[in-house]
Amino acid sequence: MKIALLEPIGVTREIVESYGERLREMGHEFCYYDTLWENTEELKKRSEGCDIAMIANHPYPQEVIEASDKLKMISVAFTGIDHVGTACCKEKDIMVCNAAGYSNQTVAELIIGFAVDALRNVVKADAVVRQQGTSAGIGGREICGRTVGIIGLGQIGTMAARLFQAFGARVIAYNRSQSEEKKDLGITYCSLDEVLEQSDIISLNLPLNNETRGFISREKIAKMKPDAVFINCARGPIVDNKALADALNEDRLGFACIDVFDCEPPIPEDYPLLHAKNTVLTPHQAFISEESMKRRAEIVFRNVFSYLEGAPQNVCKL
């Protein structure tokens, strides 16, 4: 089979080649692109003749999949697959496997970092020092004793909940289903309205799909406490980000820490959150760490080996 890694996945070429050599020893053709494609036509050329395509978090659209006549499997070096033309994959019976779990720790740690930053004014304090200021008025608040609301209690949401508990926070959560195991961790399930209304810190950890797009609406934002901290390390389109910016600018919400937007960075200059008060913005980096990139590479190649051995893993429902 022809197997191609179509874009970089954040590890050294030596690591990629070590996996590639194993595939060649099994009798397969393997090629690797260490730059991102510039346009759809280039992506089509890279995909030409591939039985298995390996991608990361950049769009792999329907028109490319339609043009790839031999494609049988896509191994996605990412947890979400909303950037893949899955409808076309389903129509052509192309298997899609993801890299579930690789970034759980990394994302959860950034969520905690965001909360500390927002409550203790870290970014603001840095600016104060550089302007010859003092600590007057910027001491902030503790996580300990506060109520943290987790919206979406999957693997990342659960890990974030446990880290918040280690700080001494009370954790409540909204999720479509409930787990006795997570109740045993001391997490209290609540309605969405209760989470929005009671939480001092809210962490959004839902996947992006047709049901969650626009889920955090203007009306839901209005239910949050006026001094609450809202954290989004999930997906940008789950939130009405214009409404979020308005709430911040009108002092109806305390702070927002945002890693994901309605588009991939670079973000347009007129994007509302860029001009909102009391924000910390990062360029979709929550999933990136030295450790997570190595885990991701291992999983995405293991998906390929498992598929070739007839025992596919991490298969996504399309």
The answer to whether 99 and 107 have CB atoms below 8 angstroms apart is: no
Which is catalytic among the residues 162, 264, 298, 302?
A: 264
* 28 catalytically annotated: no
Place of tokens 């980096």: 285
Mark out the alpha helices in the chain (DSSP H runs): 13-25, 40-47, 62-67, 86-92, 104-120, 122-130, 155-166, 180-184, 192-198, 218-222, 241-249, 290-308
What pLDDT, on the 0 to 100 scale, is given for residue 212?
96
Question: Sign of the C-alpha dihedral, residues 190, 194, 198, 200?
Answer: positive
The answer to whether 65 and 41 have CB atoms below 8 angstroms apart is: no
Question: Sign of the C-alpha dihedral, residues 294, 1, 53, 14?
Answer: positive
What pLDDT, on the 0 to 100 scale, is given for residue 129?
96
Q: What is the pLDDT of residues 134-179, one digit of tens each?
A: 999 999 999 999 999 999 999 999 999 999 999 999 999 999 999 9
What pLDDT, on the 0 to 100 scale, is given for residue 51?
98
Which is catalytic among the residues 46, 170, 284, 295?
A: 284
Nearest to residue 282, comparing CAs of 301, 255, 264, 297? 264
* 298 catalytically annotated: no
What pLDDT, on the 0 to 100 scale, is given for residue 117?
97
Structure pTM? 0.90
Residue spans of the chain under pLDDT 50: none
What pLDDT, on the 0 to 100 scale, is given for residue 200?
98
What pLDDT, on the 0 to 100 scale, is given for residue 98?
97
Q: Which amino acid is at 224?
A: M
Interatomic CA distance for residues 99 and 103, integer angstroms: 9
Which is catalytic among the residues 46, 146, 170, 235?
A: 235
* 264 catalytically annotated: yes
Work out the angle at residue 208's Cα, subtended by the Cα atoms of residues 240 and 45, and round it to the nearest 5 degrees: 115
Would you tell me how many other CB atoms lie within 10 Å of the CB of residue 213? 12
